[in-house]
Amino acid sequence: MTTNETESGEKMELLNANLAKVEELSLRLAEVMGHHKPLRNELNAPEPEVFMTAATAYWQNMLNDPGKMIENQLDLWTKSVKGFVDAQNLILKGQFAAPQDDTPTDRRFSHPMWKTHPYFNLVKQQYMRNAEAIRKSVGELEGLSGKDKQRIEYFSSQIIDMMAPTNFLGTNPEVLEKAVATEGQSLVDGLENLIADLESNNGELLVKLADENAFEIGRNIATAPGKVVYRNRMFELLQFAPTTDTVHEIPLVVFPPWINKYYILDLKEQNSMIRWCVAQGYTVFVVSWINPDRSYSDVGMEDYITEGFLEAIAKVKSICDQPKVNAVGYCIAGTTLHLTLSLMKQHGDTSVNSATFFTTLTDFSDQGEFTPFLQDDFIDGIDEEVEEEGILRSFIMQRTFSFLRSNDLIYGPAIKSYMMGEAPPAFDLLYWNGDGSGLPGKMAHQYLRELCQSNKFVGDGVELCGKTLKISDVDVPICAVTCETDHIARWRDCFHGFQQTKSRSKTFIVSQSGHIAGIVNPPSKKKYGHFTNKKLKGTADEWMEGATFHEGSWWPRWDTWLSQKSGNQIPKRTPGTSDFPVLGDAPGTYVLEKATK
């Protein structure tokens, strides 16, 4: 027996052994799924009437204009048959090559074999033809309402993404190559990754995006020096240690969103906005919200306003012995800061000297990419979920956000982890993204029904805390920072709400990039620029047409704005006082609590 034959035999034995492991792991997988309690149907798909409406519209269009439908089908058939014939002709000529490929560039198909191998190229081309045919058919549907059309477009797009040949072992050359090169070990590792993810989420499939063992809160992320100086059932108040000899007189209190943890603003030293603000001479306080369990089911928006925002503002004023604070609200916390300012206006409370809003929506008249999830069938399902569970569990929100970018946040990572057996990357931002929080049941219901669906805050007002709160009550100096490619809080929608405040001093900024990267954009990186325009009347597009682009981060521009509203320089403040003794080191204890499954 030759050396090559021996090596070949050993490889075959290893491959067979790994395939046997796959069978063993399959039994473990079956056990995991046997204990899985599926989500209610309303949270997995729209009500059947949505698809019935689309089918009826398609049938009606066919009756009204059968020529167009037949023309579309013939076009697909012609391209499909031609692609097959071209591939066959090359093979008959003895050429192992792909036919001409005029399909658009798609990074999912970056592996060379998608272009060079006749089989994989044919599969790719046919998938892209089918996808285009579906999009065209949906795009030409008539007789549907705007929201129904958006929903059909969204769910058809999800089907298209799900059925990509890259998502299947037999039609992904990169996966097959690695399986052969590793004698099947990549498949074993991938199945182990899959089972581990299922086990950690009670049978729900949430692709782990980052290596959780690479990070530890307080050790290599969320490390800005500071102290916990106050705690109640809603939040811990963190005061960060000064790094300058003098500080601005008026303190800065930051309210992060409670859907995720505060340390998005303190990931690493190089991109920590908290550290940067401290270095500019601000006394920085940050609210670290509780990760609610089922006992918080009756906590509503009014509790976040009174026991959260108002309480934090009062405690910061007392600690610093100052009558005013400057406040920052990020995403949903920015929305709630607006509600708080409306309530304070009606109470004659002038504690907030200025307010800054990061990626904040207040006008929900255009629900954008969230339209499919903000209709009654889905919200009814969420109401039933929170009625049963007491909270809106974190993984439900995480899954929803992921499907808005399914190729980047679901299928791409799943291919790497489950089909190629690769460990997730050590990426701090993705680690933070997976460290979610739940929402109290009452609060989730109010936010979705009163604000997102009914859009009351910019209309007749929303009833909270015994008052009718309206955006027109907001009249403190404000600065809004939005992000150009943000798909969660689109900058144009943020602009519409921003315009409806009654503040006489307004600044609006559009940063390049998205919901996170556009905000966490330190000057040292010199990565993303930003747009400004002092003319705030007219449409958002008119604002952008007249805007000036500036290279680099918006942080220094905001610092110039904020410093003018922060009073004189005074000696630096050490965290805590005799009335507010230090309760522990930052990042505190609330940030360590994991979301309820």
Q: For residue range 8-42, what is the model confidence (pLDDT) as tens digits?
A: 666 677 767 776 776 777 777 777 766 666 776 66
Residue 63 has pLDDT above 90, yes or no: no
Q: Range of 175's domain?
A: 49-181
Note whether 299 and 171 are same-domain residues.
no
User: Residue 202 has what pLDDT?
Assistant: 75
DSSP secondary structure, 188-246, as one string: HHHHHHHHHHHHHTTT------S-GGG--BTTTBS---EEEEEE-SSEEEEEEPP-SSE
Residue 552 has pLDDT above 50, yes or no: yes
Residue 330 has pLDDT above 90, yes or no: yes
Note whether 59 and 170 are same-domain residues.
yes
Note whether 155 and 231 are same-domain residues.
no
Note whether 248 and 166 are same-domain residues.
no
CA angle 134, 136, 142 (to 5 degrees): 110
Range from 7-16, 326-335, 540-549 carrying the lowest mean pLDDT: 7-16
Residue 523 has pLDDT above 70, yes or no: yes
Range from 69-83, 144-158, 547-561, 575-589 carrying the lowest mean pLDDT: 69-83
Range from 5-19, 204-218, 248-262, 465-479 carrying the lowest mean pLDDT: 5-19
Phi-psi group of 101: left, alpha or beta (phi > 0 → left; psi -120 to 50 → alpha; rest → beta): beta
Question: Does some domain include residue 579?
Answer: yes
Question: Does some domain include residue 446?
Answer: yes
User: Residue 45 has what pLDDT?
Assistant: 57
Residue 172 has pLDDT above 70, yes or no: yes
> Pick from 128, 159, 181: which residue ends a domain?
181
Instruction: Residue 337: give its domain's CATH number.
Output: 3.40.50.1820
317 confidence band (pLDDT: 50, 70, 90): very high
Question: Does some domain include residue 169?
Answer: yes
Note whether 165 and 282 are same-domain residues.
no
187 confidence band (pLDDT: 50, 70, 90): confident
> Pick from 181, 212, 244: which residue ends a domain?
181
Q: What are phi and psi of 146, to 5 degrees?
A: -60, -45
In this structure, the dihedral spanned by the alpha carbons of residues 366, 475, 248 and 581, taken in order and rounded to 10 degrees, is -80
81 confidence band (pLDDT: 50, 70, 90): very low
Note whether 241 and 152 are same-domain residues.
no
Q: pLDDT tens for residues 122-160? A: 889 888 988 888 888 888 777 777 777 888 888 888 888
CB atoms within 10 A of CB 336: 24
Host H or E run for residue 288: strand 284-289
Residue 404 has pLDDT above 90, yes or no: no
What is the average pLDDT across 405-425? 91
Question: Does some domain include residue 343?
Answer: yes
Note whether 235 and 152 are same-domain residues.
no
Residue 82 has pLDDT above 70, yes or no: no
Residues of the chain above pLDDT 90, percent: 58
Question: Does some domain include residue 411?
Answer: no
CA pair distance 179, 190, nearest whole angstrom = 10
User: Residue 197 has what pLDDT?
Assistant: 86
Question: Does some domain include residue 23?
Answer: no
163 confidence band (pLDDT: 50, 70, 90): confident
Question: Does some domain include residue 16?
Answer: no
Residue 506 has pLDDT above 70, yes or no: yes
Sequence-distant (≥ 6) Cβ neighbours of residue 297 within 8 angstroms: 386, 390, 391, 440, 441, 442
CB atoms within 10 A of CB 255: 29
Domains contained in the chain, number: 2
CA pair distance 425, 106, nearest whole angstrom = 23
Q: Is 465 a catalytic residue?
A: no
Residues of the chain above pLDDT 70, percent: 86
Note whether 99 and 231 are same-domain residues.
no
Q: pLDDT tens for residues 456-488? A: 999 999 999 999 999 999 999 999 999 999 999
DSSP state of 260: B
Note whether 584 and 514 are same-domain residues.
yes
Distance of CA 211 to the CA centre of its chain: 18
Mean pLDDT of the residues in the chain: 87
Which candidate in 277, 320, 331, 465 is catalytic? 331
Q: Which residue has the higher pLDDT, 261 or 150?
A: 261
Q: pLDDT tens for residues 354-380? A: 999 999 999 999 887 888 788 888 898
Q: Which residue has the higher pLDDT, 193 or 14?
A: 193
54 confidence band (pLDDT: 50, 70, 90): very low
Note whether 175 and 283 are same-domain residues.
no
User: Residue 123 has what pLDDT?
Assistant: 87
In the three-class reduction of DSSP (H, G, I as helix; E, B as strand; rest coil), residue 184 is classed as coil
User: Residue 58 has what pLDDT?
Assistant: 44
CB atoms within 10 A of CB 270: 10
Note whether 286 and 151 are same-domain residues.
no
Residue 345 has pLDDT above 60, yes or no: yes
**Contact, 285 vs 252, CB < 8 A?**
yes
In the three-class reduction of DSSP (H, G, I as helix; E, B as strand; rest coil), residue 469 is classed as strand
User: Residue 47 has what pLDDT?
Assistant: 57
CA pair distance 467, 347, nearest whole angstrom = 10
69 confidence band (pLDDT: 50, 70, 90): very low
Question: Does some domain include residue 213?
Answer: no
Range from 33-42, 160-169, 426-435 carrying the lowest mean pLDDT: 33-42
Model-wide pTM > 0.75: yes
The β-bridge partners of 456 are none
Note whether 158 and 238 are same-domain residues.
no
Annotate 335-386 with three-state secondary structure: HHHHHHHHHHHHHCCCCEEEEEEECCCCCCCCCHHHHHHCCHHHHHHHHHHH
